[in-house]
Amino acid sequence: MADRAANAVIAKYSTSFGLATRLLAGPLRRDIRNLYAMVRIADEIVDGTAAQAELNDIPAALAAYEHQVRQAPKQRFHTDPVIHAYAQTARRCHFRDAHVEAFFASMRRDLHQSEYSDDSLEDYIYGSAEVIGLLCLAAFYADIEVSEEKYAELEHGARSLGAAFQKVNFLRDFREDTARLGRNYYEILDNQAKDEIIASIRGDLEAAHAVIPDLPDSARTGVLAATLLFEELTDRLAEVDAAELHRRRIRVPGRRKALLLARAVKGARR
């Protein structure tokens, strides 16, 4: 029941991610969805829903949720099914508490920080996205032994892919972040700035692609599918004028997503 509850959260929040996770092997698919369900609930606390519900003390709510999540693996029963599902996965996959702590540190920044320097944005991306890649990697290799040298290479790829995903989201969610949430991850978004961000994303995606062939069979197809989907988004973002990002969110049509998923299945087998 808890696993199904986590799956329902993901199905409602992200069609692209939900499609990509279908290409993961069964047990791994469960663990990645359990992780992301917890992440989505944390996002809800800081991204406006708690405010719309007139929650009096949102920072306290986030702190309470962080405590619940970080203590969850130590307990074997939880009344919240998403927390219960996450706790089972965290124990199975030996998630590092430092990674979870870094994630919540970035979530807290969304409550009080509206502008970022290059250094502070790098720290934010690490906590909001790169550590999620590292937690996914821990799930991929929960039952697989690999040398420290190889795992370090895989970690670089995982962090790069997480960073790419976050930067893509910064661009396509630019209007909502600035207009509704009052966040300026990039001080200026003109065509020159956009081109520099696109170049950075493509560098991250290239680093991620380099390690995808080394991933276990259970993960390779799903990760390749997610990478291809975000490459498509990157290409579409590159084609539009920066001013367009101030007006609308760039999307990948459903038919195109299906084609990319089929390409991932074929590419992973090769």
The secondary structure of 137-151 as a DSSP string is: HHHHTTT----HHHH
Q: What is the average per-residue pLDDT within 260-266?
A: 91
d(CA 55, CA 227): 36
For the chain, state the CA radius of gyration: 18
Q: Given this model, what pLDDT does residue 159 score?
A: 98
Domain that includes residue 161, residue range = 2-269
Alpha-carbon span 230 to 81, nearest angstrom: 30
CATH number at residue 153: 1.10.600.10
Place 256 in a pLDDT band, splitting at 50, 70 and 90.
very high
* Calpha distance 242→195 (Å, rounded): 9
pLDDT digits (tens, 9 = 90+) for 6-53: 999 988 887 777 778 899 999 999 999 999 999 999 999 998 788 788
| pLDDT tens-digit readout, 216-251 | 999 999 999 999 999 999 999 999 999 999 999 999
151 vs 216: CA distance, rounded Å: 12
Candidates 223, 226, 228; CA nearest to 213 is 223
Kindly write down the DSSP assignment for every residue of 150-193, as one continuous string. HHHHHHHHHHHHHHHHHHHHHHHTHHHHHHTS--BSSS--SHHH
Total domain count for the chain? 1
pLDDT of 150 over the 90 cut:
yes
Q: How far apart are CA 146 and CA 24, in angstroms?
A: 20
Is pLDDT at 270 greater than 80 in this prediction? no
Confidence check: pLDDT of 269 > 90: no
Instruction: Take residue 140 and report the two structure tokens written for it.
Output: 């991929």
Residue 248: other Cβ atoms inside 10 A? 11
Q: How many Å from the N-terminal Cα to the C-terminal Cα in the chain?
A: 36
d(C-alpha 207, C-alpha 105), whole Å: 26
Task: Give 56 or 150, the one with higher predicted confidence.
Answer: 150
Q: What angle, rounded to 10 degrees, do the helices at 81-93 and 2-13 form?
A: 100
Cα 145 vs. chain centroid, distance in angstroms?
A: 25
Q: Taking a C-beta distance cutoff of 8 angstroms, is the pair 177, 183 a contact? A: yes
Q: State both tokens at 22.
A: 């279908």
The reported pTM is: 0.94
Percent of the chain scored above 90 by pLDDT? 80
**Looking at the predicted structure, is the pLDDT value of residue 160 above 90?**
yes
What average pLDDT does the structure give for the chain?
93
Here the tokens at position 186 are 């990039």
Q: CB burial class (10 A; 0-12, 13-18, 19+) of residue 113?
A: middle
Annotate 255-269 with three-state secondary structure: HHHHHHHHHHHHHHH
> What pLDDT sits at residue 52?
83
